[in-house]
Amino acid sequence: MIKYQRINSYEREAIAIFRSKGYPSNRIAEFLGRSVSSITREIKRNSYSGVYRAFPAHYRAEERQRYTHTKRRKIDLDDAMRRLILDKLRLFWSPKQISVWLKTEMEKDISHEAIYQYIYLLGRGELKKELISCLRQRKPLRQNRKGVTEKRGSIADMITIHERPSEVADRTVPGHWEGDLIMGKDHKSAIGTIVERQTRYLLLVKLKEKDAKSVRRAFAKKLKELPESLRKTMTYDRGKEMAEHKKFTIATGIKVYFCDPHSPWQRGTCENTNGLIRNFFPKGTDFGKVTTEKLG
């Protein structure tokens, strides 16, 4: 019997792309090698207001998986406490204030984190919208704060993805790119991948070395071949090869925005493309022996 594998971030990016182009679920399922029921279930569960987007879908699925098959939460079990929490939220009390009040006045031990989880794990509906509107920041999706410590060292003067222009996320205009490296045999060689978010146009970059200076020069040379109108932004992970991002911006006019640590879905177009490239350059490839002509 084949073991079921949960849909991953690469597949969610592909689903979002095909959905935007009007492909039906059976065609998407055929492309991904999935059952039609898996695709329709994924779209139904993880769409928001009828729209399926890769990053929110991945976040919702991860949150659901984290709390599935666990014991019921205190808020679900205690109707009286739940009503008290809802009443305080509607008075615009913060979850932290409610947690302290419950413990000191009602002798009920419930953390502010549990209150946040209760709100954000509610099914779609008016109650969830109402409760989120009562929070201070009113974010429709909650940022995952676990595992956000970057252990590879920080990059000076980073600009985070949260400061990126809205037109990048909306994919309304071309000229916004995602970048990454694909590592070769024993991590001794690499090629650069640069993908345009709206058109999915791909640039493969031959690299002599994978240090910051070499990557900056090679990426800049490749991108400067394009018209200035197509050189707006690049979204990158926190790899140290982009440490010279300020010099890269001066040379190309392309502003670099960095993803949150351990969040590959924030540049899902590039991640998905890298998976496709691996069909032609499998793991163990020595990119030092791959010619520029072969990269295209």
Give me the tens of pLDDT residue by residue for the chain, a chain 296 residues long: 445 578 888 888 889 888 888 899 999 999 888 999 999 999 988 887 778 888 788 877 776 666 554 445 678 778 888 899 999 999 989 898 999 999 888 888 888 888 988 888 776 678 888 888 888 767 666 555 444 444 445 788 889 898 898 889 888 899 999 999 999 998 899 999 999 999 999 999 999 999 999 999 999 999 999 999 999 999 999 999 999 999 999 999 999 999 988 777 788 889 888 888 988 898 889 999 998 888 87
Q: Which helix (H) or strand (E) holds 214?
A: helix 212-223
Residues with Cβ within 8 Å of 134's Cβ and at least 6 positions away in sequence, in order, are 89, 90, 92
Both tokens assigned to 188: 């001794």
Alpha helices in 47-165 (DSSP H): 54-67, 74-77, 79-90, 95-105, 112-120, 126-133
Rg (CA), the chain: 22
Q: Which H or E element spans position 19?
A: helix 9-20
Q: Which residues of 106-144 are buried (b: 16+ CB within 10 A; e: fewer)?
A: eebebeeebbebbbbeeeeeeeeeebbebbeeeeeebee
User: What whole-number distance in Å separates Cα of residue 178 and Cα of residue 268?
Assistant: 9
- Counted residue by residue, the chain has a size of 296
**Quick check: 250 and 151 in contact, CB under 8 A?**
no
